[in-house]
């Protein structure tokens, strides 16, 4: 009876008692979710276009943030540092395609996955050697003041982050739907062979996709870096974005966003209302369990393409 | 010239079906075993046994376990660390509750506990596969470690939160605990690896192994020719987790001496996966070679600057290590995606003709 109370009654009473607090929890969850989405977005882009499960996305986030901070520490103005970092990420995409992806073409997914784990180690090492491994403060002038709306405490920075994410998704959507390159990308995602047959250069497409993923990583790196400092743990959020992918589906951009929001909110609510019943710190595994349970009912995720088996 | 099988006629079915049908292979294995049992314990010093050989043997066992699951049955798993933790904690609980049970028996018992846990977390594999399954096994990884950290019962409410190997003997010789010598622990690890590697070798060429491979290659087709996916997949999870559990028990009781849950974190899972892939998916020998490579490379990289008298700050050294390690993995995958097992096979084919061109 006690268990039932702790699990099914008390949390909801707590929620009803303090609606303002609940709203704050939800909002903070939404904002964490946006951050997860930004990382998951990079995964989805690469998975869609090349079928590579890019484990190095987290390392790319770290690498981009480190490069940006490093450039700024050397007195480069913010706008120039941003352009410079973006250029570095594009250059990185070229190198990855030339050195790693091209020789591994037509290998099995797991081999490519392993290669990206190798890339993960490599990028972490390079980034930290080039720019130092101590925790750095990233400040590019995003406002960071708190204000109240209807008794709910909000932070300008968080709103800014949500806005950036929304803009990014909008730009990506336009890019994918309206431009010629976007159409080519979708064609490659649908069917590599057919895309090749109608004359779409696969190698160029891969460079573009990895560049876009690199720039998305840069945006994610700026947001996470400005929030919690640029440090090694940034690369670990890649692990957190995996359940987001599962929930949203590996191949869906809206899925990455909505999955991120669900995981972000769910995690915060679970931690605050159900955490005490389990002895706390359930944030670490809650997302994975949620994804696991979800998978049992819908293996392709919320918006993923239906998995069709052909023999 | 040396590796010639011409003239080796198999005159009975038993000979034809032997694990090592070629006489040179048998001699080679015998030689390795003689060196490993008869020479190494007397020659190697404490550092080599403790820092190199024991972890290599233990990780080789875990890698064989993961290879059974990923290489043979085709189920990608990132939960190896957690299954090893189950083995270690089960051993700790059993041996502290029943000190009179022989510790080596306890290792095997905790393997069975790990197998049970593995089956539970293998259930999603019936619905999902590939990377989706890999993420699902991450749930096992994080949940199990959290559980072992939170619930005091698992570490006997030890205030430090660690599990420590109590002194245990086998045939009157200390095998676990602070007083056990490295030689003894090495020999025990070696024996476990040899026995379980042979078992695995026989397992994968029998009916069970063949049904795993059928599931790996195309599960729908396998189902149609009469292989039950439920039993086959769950058996793969059970046996793989059994191996990992035994390896995890040895990890704490024969190598570290005491450990917290951090010893089994996600990086252990990745490390074992590296071993399996670098060694070669679907190869028992490959798992052992991969384990040797992955345990030796970081040790080599850590010691290399000192060997050439190159002073290097620790953190810079660590990052360079990361770079070289990551670079080597990519390089190996590009050069030989099928791993050491394939290289070994190519070497044998070359040796067969050597030194003549035909």
What domains can be seen in chain A, in order of their start residue? 2-297 (1.10.3470)
Q: Is the pLDDT of residue B162 over 90?
A: no
- Identify which has the larger pLDDT, A53 or B86: B86
Least confident of A200-204, B125-129, B241-245, B253-257: B125-129
pLDDT (tens digit, 9 = 90+) per residue, A287-298? 888 887 877 777
pLDDT (tens digit, 9 = 90+) per residue, A300-309? 777 766 666 6
How is residue A53 written in tokens?
């499960």
Percentages helix, strand, coil for chain B (3-state, rounded to 5) are 75, 5, 25
Integer CA distances (angstroms), A131 to A87, A134, B55, in order: 17, 9, 34
**pLDDT recorded at residue A150:** 63
How is residue A258 written in tokens?
């909505």
Q: Is the pLDDT of residue A18 over 90?
A: no
Contact B128 A118 (CB under 8 A): no
Q: Which helix (H) or strand (E) holds B3?
A: none
Distance CA B139, CA B235 (A): 20
CA A81 to chain centre: 22
Q: CA geometry: angle at B285 spanning B279 and B288, to 5°?
A: 65
Distance CA A168, CA A290 (A): 27
Q: What ipTM was predicted for this assembly?
A: 0.79
Contact A122 B323 (CB under 8 A): yes
Q: With contacts defined as CB-CB under 8 Å, which chain B residues touch A124?
A: 319, 322, 326
**pLDDT recorded at residue B11:** 86
Q: What separation, in Å, do the N-terminal and C-terminal C-alpha atoms of chain B show?
A: 11
How is residue A233 written in tokens?
């743990």
Distance CA B41, CA B189 (A): 12
**pLDDT recorded at residue B239:** 93
Distance CA B256, CA A149 (A): 55
Contact A121 B329 (CB under 8 A): yes
- Identify which has the larger pLDDT, B114 or B44: B114
Q: Is the pLDDT of residue A1 over 60?
A: no
DSSP designation for A305: P
- Identify which has the larger pLDDT, B200 or A160: B200
Contact B334 A100 (CB under 8 A): yes
**pLDDT recorded at residue B274:** 85
pLDDT (tens digit, 9 = 90+) per residue, A76-120? 777 888 888 888 889 988 888 888 888 887 777 778 888 888 888
B interface toward A at CB cutoff 8 Å? 70, 76, 124, 127-128, 130-132, 135-136, 138-139, 141-143, 146, 150-151, 218, 220-221, 224, 266, 270, 273-274, 277, 281, 315-316, 319-323, 325-330, 333-334, 337
Phi/psi of residue B162, nearest 5 degrees: -110, 160
The pLDDT of A120-136, averaged and rounded, is: 78
**pLDDT recorded at residue B63:** 93
**pLDDT recorded at residue B235:** 92
How is residue A174 written in tokens?
């336009």
Do residues B79 and B215 touch, judged by C-beta distance below 8 A? no
With a CB cutoff of 8 Å and minimum separation 6, the contacts of B61 are: B189, B192, B193, B196, B197, B243, B246, B247, B250
The pLDDT of A158-179, averaged and rounded, is: 81
Alpha-helical runs (H) found in chain B: 13-16, 23-34, 40-43, 46-47, 54-66, 80-97, 103-122, 131-150, 182-204, 207-217, 219-224, 229-250, 266-279, 284-307, 314-335, 339-353
Distance CA A244, CA A250 (A): 9
Q: Is the pLDDT of residue A66 over 70?
A: yes
Site from B323, B331, B341, B342 to mutate, A interface, most A CB atoms within 10 angstroms: B323
Radius of gyration of chain A measured on its C-alpha atoms: 20
Give the residue on A whose Cα is nearest the Cα of B122.
Answer: A292
**pLDDT recorded at residue B210:** 92
Q: Is the pLDDT of residue A139 over 70?
A: no
Give the residue on A whose Cα is nearest the Cα of B134.
Answer: A242
């Amino acid at each position: 009876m006690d268990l039932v109370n702790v699990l099914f009654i008390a949390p909801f009473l707590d929620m009803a008692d303090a609606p303002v607090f609940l709203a704050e929890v939800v909002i903070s969850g939404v904002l964490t979710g946006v951050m997860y989405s930004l990382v998951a977005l990079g995964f989805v882009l690469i998975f869609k276009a090349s079928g590579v499960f890019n484990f190095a996305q987290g390392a790319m986030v770290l690498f981009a943030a480190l490069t940006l901070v490093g450039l700024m520490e050397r007195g480069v103005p913010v706008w120039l540092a941003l352009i410079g970092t973006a250029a570095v990420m594009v250059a990185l995409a070229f190198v990855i395609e030339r050195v790693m992806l091209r020789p591994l073409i037509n290998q099995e997914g797991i081999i490519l996955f392993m290669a990206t784990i190798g890339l993960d180690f490599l990028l972490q090492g390079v980034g930290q050697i080039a720019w130092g491994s101590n925790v750095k403060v990233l400040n590019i002038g995003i406002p960071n003041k708190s204000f109240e709306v209807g008794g709910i405490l909000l932070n300008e920075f968080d709103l800014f982050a949500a806005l950036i994410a929304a803009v990014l998704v909008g730009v990506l959507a336009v890019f994918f739907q309206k431009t010629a390159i976007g159409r080519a990308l979708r064609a490659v995602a649908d069917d590599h062979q057919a895309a090749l047959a109608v004359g779409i250069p696969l190698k160029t497409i891969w460079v573009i996709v990895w560049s876009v993923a690199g720039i998305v990583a840069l945006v994610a790196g700026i947001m996470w870096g400005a929030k919690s400092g640029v440090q090694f743990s940034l690369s670990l959020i890649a692990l957190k974005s995996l359940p987001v992918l599962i929930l949203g589906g590996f191949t869906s951009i809206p899925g990455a966003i909505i999955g991120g929001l669900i995981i972000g909110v769910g995690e915060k609510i679970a931690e605050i209302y159900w955490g005490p019943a389990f002895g706390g710190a359930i944030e670490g595994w809650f997302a994975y369990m949620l994804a696991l349970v979800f998978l049992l009912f819908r293996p392709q995720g919320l918006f993923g393409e239906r998995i069709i088996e052909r023999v | 010239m040396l590796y010639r099988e011409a003239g080796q006629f198999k005159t009975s079915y038993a000979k034809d079906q032997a694990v090592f049908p070629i006489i040179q292979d048998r001699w080679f294995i015998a030689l390795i075993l003689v060196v490993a049992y008869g020479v190494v314990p007397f020659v190697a010093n404490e550092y080599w046994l403790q820092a190199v050989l024991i972890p290599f043997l233990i990780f080789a066992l875990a890698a064989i376990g993961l290879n059974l699951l990923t290489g043979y049955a085709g189920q990608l798993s990132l939960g190896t660390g957690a299954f090893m933790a189950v083995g270690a904690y089960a051993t700790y609980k059993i041996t502290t509750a029943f000190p009179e049970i022989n510790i080596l028996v306890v290792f095997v018992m905790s393997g069975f506990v790990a197998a049970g846990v593995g089956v539970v977390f293998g259930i999603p594999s019936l619905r999902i596969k590939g990377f989706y399954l890999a993420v699902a096994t991450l749930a096992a990884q994080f949940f199990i470690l959290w559980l072992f950290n939170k619930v005091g019962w698992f570490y006997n409410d030890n205030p430090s939160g660690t599990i420590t190997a109590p002194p245990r003997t086998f045939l009157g010789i200390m095998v676990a605990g602070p007083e056990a010598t490295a030689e003894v622990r090495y020999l025990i690890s070696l024996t476990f690896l040899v026995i379980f590697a042979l078992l695995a070798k026989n397992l994968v060429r029998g009916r069970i192994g063949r049904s795993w491979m059928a599931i790996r290659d195309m599960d729908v087709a396998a189902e149609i020719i009469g292989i039950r996916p439920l039993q086959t997949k769950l058996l793969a999870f059970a046996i793989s987790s059994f191996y990992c559990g035994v390896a995890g028990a040895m990890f704490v009781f024969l190598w570290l001496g005491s450990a917290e849950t951090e010893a089994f974190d996600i990086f252990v899972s990745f490390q074992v996966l590296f071993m399996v892939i670098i060694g070669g998916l679907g190869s028992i020998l490959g798992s052992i070679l991969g384990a040797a490579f992955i345990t030796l490379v970081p040790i080599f990289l850590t010691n290399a600057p000192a060997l050439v008298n190159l002073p290097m700050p620790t953190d810079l050294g660590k990052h360079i290590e990361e770079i070289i390690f990551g670079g080597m993995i990519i390089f190996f995958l590009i050069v030989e995606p099928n791993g050491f097992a394939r290289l070994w096979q190519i070497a044998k084919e070359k040796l067969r003709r050597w030194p003549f061109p035909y």
